Amino acid sequence: MNATAASAQVSELLSAAGTPAAARERPSNSAGLSAEAIAHLNERYAPLDFEQRLRRLYQDFAPDKVLVTSSFAATSAYFLHIISRIRPDQPIAFIDTGYHFPETLAYRDYLTRLFGLKGFDLKAEDWKHQFTTDDKTYQRDPDLCCTINKVEPLDAIKPRYHVWVSSLMRWQTDERASMSIFEERRGIIKFNPMIDVTREQRDAYIREHRLPFHPLVAQGYSSIGCTHCTVKGEGRSGRWVGKPKTECGLHL
C-alpha cells in the first residue's frame, strides 16, 4: 500500500471515530480515536524511521492539531533540528516550571534562534507556583511539585490538539522501554516517533550535523530538569536522587 492510500485509511479512521457508535467504544481522547485506530497507526508507522514518521504525521493529522513539546534539555537539538527541517512553522511548547537552570533558558533561546523555531511557554498559575516555592514542595513531595508546575499546565491545553509529539526513547528509562509509537495518555494521543532510536543513532546524527549540546552536559549532567531535583550523573541517575521517582509525570 502506498503512502497516499495509507493516509486515506488513517483519515477514514479519524472520521469514523466521530460517529455515535464509535464514541460509545473509544477511549476518551481529544482525537476521538479508538483502540483499534491506535493499533492501526502503530502498524502503519512501525516500518518507518523517525523522519518518515514525522512527515507522515502531518499527512494524517491536521497540522494545527499537532502539539510538540521540548524540555530543551541535554540533547534536545537532535529532535528539534529534525522538526525544524520537516515543519519549520511548527510551534514548540516549553514548560517553564520556574525552576530551570539559567543554562537551560539560555539553551532554549539559542536553539530557537539557531533553528528559527516558533516557541511558546506553558506555566502554572502564579499562586500555585508560589505555593510550591514557599512550601518547598520539591523537597517534601516532588510528585506534587511536578503536577503543579508541569503536568497541569500541559493538561490545560491538550483539548486543543489531537496528537502530542514527544522525543522519548526506550533506552532512557524502564518506564519508556514499554512505550509504543502511538498510545493514549491522559486524554490525548501521544506520538513517540523516536521511541526506537538508539543512543548510537542519536549521537551519530548529532555529530554529523554538529549540533550543540546543552552547556551543562560538559559539566557532567546527562539528564537535566529543575535545579532542585537535578545533580550531575550518568543517564537519569542525577534526577530526584534518593527518591523512588524517575519520571516527572508528563509521560505516565
Cα angle 68, 97, 223 (rounded to 5 degrees) comes to 75
Dihedral, 78, 70, 177, 156 alpha carbons, nearest 10: -160
Q: What are the backbone angles phi and psi of residue 159, rounded to the nearest 5°? A: -60, -15
248 is catalytic: yes
Query: Are 194 and 167 contacting, i.e. CB atoms less than 8 angstroms apart?
Result: yes
DSSP notation for 34-101:
-HHHHHHHHHHHTTS-HHHHHHHHHHHS-GGGEEEE----TTHHHHHHHHHHH-TT-EEEEE--S-B-
How far is the C-alpha of 5 from the C-alpha of 17, rounded, in Å?
19
| Choice among 145, 226, 229, 248 that is catalytic | 248
How far is the C-alpha of 96 from the C-alpha of 223, rounded, in Å?
17
Q: Which are the catalytic amino acids?
A: 248
